[in-house]
Structure 1
Amino acid sequence: MQLLSRQQRRRCVTSADLLRVITLHSYYVPSFRMSYRSQAGLSPSSVCTRVNENLFLFEQNKSPQGLVGLRNLGNTCFMNSILQCLSNTPELRDYCLRNSHRTDLNNNCRTNAALMEEFAKLTQSLWTSVNNEAISPSDFRSQIQRYAPKFVGCNQQDAQEFLRSLLDGLHNEVNRVTVCPKVSVEDFDHLSDDEKGRRMWNMYLEREDSKVVDLFVGQLKSSLTCAVCGFRSTVFDPFWDLSIPIAQKSSGEVTLKDCLRLFTKEDVLDGDERPTCKKCKARRKCTKRFSIQKFPQVLVLHLKRFSDSNVRASKLSTYVNFPLKELDLREFASENSERAVYNLYAVSNHTGNALGGHYTAYCKNPALGEWYSYNDSRVSPMSSSQVRSSNAYVLFYELATSPHSKYQTCRL
């Protein structure tokens, strides 16, 4: 048996360390992965020494990862902006880098999981590139166009609509549910709001359950109160993002919370908008209000800058002051929901007007903790003080503190 010197024992990694090394480093540096695989047949001391040497080289010589641009294929800046935001979403990035998506692929999907595969390949390229040269997303573009034909061609598109379509496509291809249960009509009006929300969430997960849902989907509560009899009904719906109106002020700056207050404020439904009261059995004047019942791990906020009136399309360029850290949304939560605090990690920006413009992204690199500007092929460092601008269009927030709600993404 070969004896190791004291120095070798000090440098040698345990099997647990080796597993950690492979898990944390192998998908960042392809050469490391190949080097490890080539160790078969070597003595334990040789393996330990080689692994430690590889780790030393990895730590000393690695170039910053995730700082790779995407080539513009002809008005594809909307796509590039969103792809960079998603690439800097830590859990989604790791899901792709570890090829975990392959265990979730849904063989019943009409697209044969090609969209998820190309998205994962693109994410891997963005995070394992050695020379940081810009990458062409042409293969991915072909698959998203197959899934959503409205993105065929070189017309300018809306980044938020693209995000919706992409997340929907990715979810469908890794949906863990292969056989949907029969639709059952149940009356939950006799239940408390918390229990009703819980039942509705579990029913949703029986049909839609994926890593994408785990990250991006929350639950919105809509309360409708009759102005005549006072009867209150509640509806719970899943949401992938929240499209919030931009508040208008005669003086002072507009904040993100001003916009959220406008989104959740009580609205009066009267005239032609009168709904039917379940208790009165007649159309009545009602008040309606939104609140967040379940907070997602990743909260996507879409600032409604564009309007498409009968006259002409227009864009609001109002500066909205949004926090980079500790966005506390407690005041917008349902009655019994716990505190939820979010940190910003990505922004999709739009410069120009409603008829045309350009999309870029500001992302906080999860490995370095620094902000970078992604402008198609160009990637450059930036200060956190530059993140806020009147061009901010889609905000990506990550949950900083667990809400510890009565139900999470799992079934109870």
Structure 2
Amino acid sequence: MPEKPLTIATYAAGASLAAITLVYVFGPTFFLDDEASSTRKKGVVGLHNAANDCFINSILQALAGLPDLRIYLIRETHRRKLDGPEVYNVDPERLSLEKRPMRPWKLEGLQKGTVTYALKDVLDKLNERPIYRKTISPQSFIRALERAFGTRISRQQQDAQEFLQIVTERLCDEYHAGSKARRQAHKLGISITNGNTVCEKQELVDQLGAAVAEAAAKVDKAEDVQDDDPIPEEGFPFEGKMESQIECLTCGFKPKPAVSTFVTLTLNVPQKSSTSLNACFDGMLKVEHIDDFKCEYCRLEHAIQYKTKELSRASAVETKECLQSDISKLQDALEQDPEKPPEGVELPDLNLSPRRRIARHMYISSFPKVLAIHLSRSVFSVGSVSTKNLAKVAFPESLPLGGILNQKKYKLLGMVAHKGGHNSGHYEAFRRQVQPIPYSTPHSFGADGVYS
């Protein structure tokens, strides 16, 4: 990514042990709730901070400003209600056949989406338009989360990024468990809904406006045309895929990339007075060179050379035939798949294989609809107390990611910032007001600003 600093917005020094930037992409254009002519603050529902819950409240407020997440929650809850409980009940016989059997109560919670329902309920309340000052309690969601994991949420650590990671991973697990249950029910001949029901569309209109509902329906139609799956799934909006690719600088061989999924990205903030979000991404996505690596392709080539020398020295007919057979198998493996050595061929000792220099780089192969970025500011050193990196980080309102041919642009929708030191402080949330007509207005940069 370019080194040119981004100056659209700057996050001041003292920001976050766990600064989280939430951005949005791949959806309809949402109007911003910001009337330039009004000097009165819009009514916003608050959250009680009863027991040092700022790390929980700030994350919930940030999540409440994500239309894509709310659309997903509406669809997922409606789908589960229409499918009926028999689809998501735990079958003991099928559970016993799993490679890694899970406890029945835990699997039942995943398939029934207990945290999904609880999060939808609290986000709906946070997006109400109160005519007076109103605050609600997050305890219902916290209790649902504690029941899902069978443990209490500690107020000692108070890490907003860790809480976001737990919530998003749980939602992702519930989505995949529900999707698996639906596919299993479909195989058994149970009728499964594909969404887009009348009640679902009506709730989308009520919660997010008619324009958002129509745009979401258009996206669904485009996805359904490309997807031949009998049960179309739009996926969890936070889930993306990351690939790690290595290349031998001697032979140019590239093995299959290692694929991993993510729901949040953690970027380390460079230890300098000021930097940019691009520089933080470069720290993760830059090309890294590694020495003394055992390349599979080079190892097979070395084995062919080794056996060719033995063949020139061999005198027995059986030995020559065996070596020629091994060389032929090794050459076939080089052409087909160097990562799978041929069976029955004894390779030279691994210590004798040549050591190569490789280049390794990571890239996002599947972009999520909602990208959550964690700026890690913790500085750990042996024998001393951990400290907080106070570097200023400049970040844009519109974030382009990807290559020239597959570039995606994300729009900043919210931020969670931490004030204080490494071991204490307070979390604050900033979210863009995204409201449906008649509250919305195209004047997004008025006197009151776009965040509240």
TM-score (norm 1): 0.59
Which of the residues 394, 408, 414 maps onto 1:340?
Answer: 408
- Judging changes above 3 Å, is the alpha-carbon distance between structure 1 residues 299 and 158 closer, same or farther for their aligned structure 2 residues? same
- Judging changes above 3 Å, is the alpha-carbon distance between structure 1 residues 126 and 141 closer, same or farther for their aligned structure 2 residues? same
Which of the residues 291, 298, 304 maps onto 2:370?
Answer: 298
1: distance between equivalents of 2:357 and 2:233?
A: 40
Deviation, 1:145, is: 2.1
1: distance between equivalents of 2:123 and 2:295?
A: 49
2: distance between equivalents of 1:284 and 1:129?
A: 63
* Other-structure match for 1:259: 280
Which of the residues 253, 268, 290 maps onto 1:269?
Answer: 290
Deviation, 1:169, is: 1.5
- Judging changes above 3 Å, is the alpha-carbon distance between structure 1 residues 119 and 299 closer, same or farther for their aligned structure 2 residues? same
Residues 1:90 and 2:97 are matched in the alignment = no
Residues 1:280 and 2:346 are matched in the alignment = no
Q: Is the 8 A contact 2:267 2:280 kept in 1?
A: yes
Q: Secondary structure at the match of 2:164?
A: helix
- Judging changes above 3 Å, is the alpha-carbon distance between structure 1 residues 216 and 99 closer, same or farther for their aligned structure 2 residues? closer
2: distance between equivalents of 1:340 and 1:247?
A: 25
* Other-structure match for 2:79: 103
Q: Is the 8 A contact 1:156 1:356 kept in 2?
A: no
Q: Is the 8 A contact 2:238 2:370 kept in 1?
A: yes
What code does the residue aligned with 1:77 have? C
- Judging changes above 3 Å, is the alpha-carbon distance between structure 1 residues 163 and 298 closer, same or farther for their aligned structure 2 residues? same
Which of the residues 256, 267, 270 maps onto 1:244?
Answer: 267
* Other-structure match for 2:122: 122
Q: Is the 8 A contact 1:171 1:210 kept in 2?
A: no
Q: Percent identity?
A: 28
Aligned positions, number: 277
Which of the residues 207, 213, 219 maps onto 2:241?
Answer: 219
Q: Is the 8 A contact 2:72 2:236 kept in 1?
A: no
* Other-structure match for 1:383: 449
1: distance between equivalents of 2:148 and 2:265?
A: 23
- Judging changes above 3 Å, is the alpha-carbon distance between structure 1 residues 248 and 337 closer, same or farther for their aligned structure 2 residues? farther
Q: Deviations over 1:154-205 (max 9, x none)?
A: 2132211111111122233343222789xxxxxxxxxxxxxxxxxxxxxxxx
Q: Secondary structure at the match of 1:110?
A: helix
2: distance between equivalents of 1:164 and 1:369?
A: 33
When Rg is computed on C-alpha atoms for both structures, the one with the higher figure is: 2
Deviation, 1:89, is: 0.5
* Other-structure match for 2:251: 229
Q: Deviations over 1:56-97 (max 9, x none)?
A: xxxxxxx956x211111312211111111111111222444x
Q: Deviations over 1:75-127 (max 9, x none)?
A: 2211111111111111222444x464242474443324322222111112112
Q: Secondary structure at the match of 2:411?
A: strand
Q: Deviations over 1:244-296 (max 9, x none)?
A: 1213457xx4111111122211112246xx4x422234564422111222221
Q: Deviations over 1:326-378 (max 9, x none)?
A: 32224xx4xx751211110000111112212211110001114799xxxxxxx
Q: Deviations over 1:194-237 (max 9, x none)?
A: xxxxxxxxxxxx9xx976x4311122221112244332222232
Q: Deviations over 1:369-393 (max 9, x none)?
A: 799xxxxxxxxx9635x89xxxxxx
* Other-structure match for 2:10: none
Q: Is the 8 A contact 1:99 1:120 kept in 2?
A: no
Which of the residues 320, 331, 335 maps onto 2:393?
Answer: 320
2: distance between equivalents of 1:82 and 1:107?
A: 31
Q: Deviations over 1:25-63 (max 9, x none)?
A: xxxxxxxxxxxxxxxxxxxxxxxxxxxxxxxxxxxxxx9
Which runs of 5 or more structure 2 residues have no equivalent in the other structure? 1-40, 82-87, 91-106, 185-228, 300-352
Q: Deviations over 1:286-314 (max 9, x none)?
A: 22111222221111111111244443322
- Judging changes above 3 Å, is the alpha-carbon distance between structure 1 residues 248 and 228 closer, same or farther for their aligned structure 2 residues? same
2: distance between equivalents of 1:162 and 1:136?
A: 17
* Other-structure match for 1:359: 427
Q: Secondary structure at the match of 1:178?
A: helix
